[in-house]
């Protein structure tokens, strides 16, 4: 598939560069529309970018204009070690003066993932209105088997046509998860995959070698917003 990638020696350099691009888009969105929306990714890779944002760019960010959403969440309590919201709080949110109402976690204090997914769709509609959200930036990660957000290979959520948020069972720990569906992820205005580490080399090679005009075998390759995708890679992942 067509693969626009930027390769950096270290994850620190990769995170700096991706954050610089996020901040440029943020300033532009605020100037044009008065607000900026971003979907944060979970996993380990984006932690560095979040920490850098809090450490180096806290005072330059107009936090009252910034809205933080999430691309996916594990269905665990919000202080659980596996919670993506917890990771984002500890690295970024707790360290910056963002108004509480600008933080939009995928809440998990519901009796079922289905209820939690419905509640998050309501939250998205309050902000974006009735047509599918086009986030200013969506940060995404890549799993070794090609998953992104919590869209895993073979998941029915990949073929979702209507719902914005899926309640999914993943072959991962924990299996119960919430995820934005391609209905939303294929609208993103700027989509950045952040991928680091040697264990991602093989899946990246597989994605790169797919023919451009057929649907990808991998969930990550099925995210094809009209405005394109940029892959930020460290050297270890790029090979
Ligand atoms: C999650 C994710 C997931 C993640 C990838 C990569 O909640 O698990 O958002 O899609 O981005 O698994 O994770 P790493 O950055 O830890 O490799």
Task: Name the nearest CA neighbour of 235 among 192, 210, 213, 204.
Answer: 204
Which pLDDT score is estimated for 212? 84
Q: Which residue among 38, 39, 42 is best mutated to probe the pocket of ligand 1, counting the most ligand atoms within 8 A of its Cβ?
A: 42
Which pLDDT score is estimated for 2? 67
Question: Which tokens belong to 106?
Answer: 């995928």
- Position in ligand 1 atom list of the atom nearest CA 197: 17
Three-state DSSP class for residue 179: strand
- Position in ligand 1 atom list of the atom nearest CA 147: 10
In the block, residue with structure tokens 């999430």: 70
Which pLDDT score is estimated for 3? 79
Three-state DSSP class for residue 14: helix
Three-state DSSP class for residue 206: helix
Which pLDDT score is estimated for 1? 65
Question: How many Å from the N-terminal Cα to the C-terminal Cα in the chain?
Answer: 18
**Residue 97 φ then ψ, to 5°:** -85, 55
Which pLDDT score is estimated for 171? 97
Question: Which tokens belong to 37?
Answer: 């929306």
Which pLDDT score is estimated for 213? 86
Cα(148) to centroid of ligand 1, in Å? 7
Q: Which domains does the chain possess?
A: 4-238 (3.40.50.1360)
* Contact status, residue 66 vs residue 98, Cβ threshold 8 Å: yes
CA-derived radius of gyration, the chain:
17
How far CA 229 is from CA of 5, 86, 108, 160, 225, in Å, comes to 9, 27, 29, 20, 7
- HEC readout, 134-179: CCCEEEECCCCCCCECCECCCCHHHHCCCCCEEEEECCCCCCEEEE
Question: Which tokens belong to 160?
Answer: 């979702």
- Position in ligand 1 atom list of the atom nearest CA 73: 7
Between CA 223 and CA 158 the distance in angstroms is 10
0.85 cut: is pTM over it?
A: yes
* Closest residue by CA, ligand 1 atom 3: 149
* Closest residue by CA, ligand 1 atom 7: 42
Which pLDDT score is estimated for 97? 98
Q: H or E segment at 27?
A: helix 11-33
Counting as low any pLDDT under 70, the low residues of the chain are 1-2
Between CA 109 and CA 171 the distance in angstroms is 22
Peptide bond into 174 cis (omega under 30): yes
Residues with CB under 6 A from ligand 1: 41-45, 71-72, 74, 84, 141-143, 147-150
Task: Name the nearest CA neighbour of 149 among 84, 231, 57.
Answer: 84
Q: pLDDT (tens digit, 9 = 90+) per residue, 106-142?
A: 999 999 999 999 999 999 999 999 999 999 999 999 9
Between CA 83 and CA 107 the distance in angstroms is 10
Cα(31) to centroid of ligand 1, in Å? 31
């Amino acid at each position: 598939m067509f693969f626009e990638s930027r390769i950096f020696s270290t994850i620190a350099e990769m995170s700096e560069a991706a954050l610089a691009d996020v901040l440029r888009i943020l300033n532009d969105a605020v100037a044009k529309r008065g607000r900026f929306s971003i979907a944060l990714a979970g996993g380990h890779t984006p932690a560095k970018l979040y920490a850098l944002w809090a450490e180096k760019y806290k005072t330059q960010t107009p936090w009252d204009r910034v809205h933080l959403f999430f691309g996916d969440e594990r269905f665990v309590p919000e202080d659980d070690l596996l919670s993506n919201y917890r990771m984002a709080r500890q690295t970024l949110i707790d360290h910056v003066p963002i108004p509480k109402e600008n933080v939009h976690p995928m809440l998990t204090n519901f009796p079922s993932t289905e209820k939690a997914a419905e509640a998050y769709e309501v939250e998205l509609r309050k902000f974006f209105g009735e047509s599918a959200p086009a986030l200013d930036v969506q940060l995404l990660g890549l799993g070794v088997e090609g998953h992104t957000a919590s869209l895993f290979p073979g998941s029915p959520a990949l073929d979702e046509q209507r719902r914005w948020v899926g309640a999914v069972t993943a072959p991962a720990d924990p299996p119960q998860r919430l995820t934005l569906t391609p209905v939303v992820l294929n609208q993103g205005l700027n989509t950045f995959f952040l991928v680091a580490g040697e264990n991602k080399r093989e899946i990246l090679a597989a994605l790169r070698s797919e023919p451009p005009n057929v649907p990808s075998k991998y969930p990550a390759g099925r995210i094809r917003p009209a405005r394109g995708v940029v892959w930020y890679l460290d050297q270890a992942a790029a090979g």
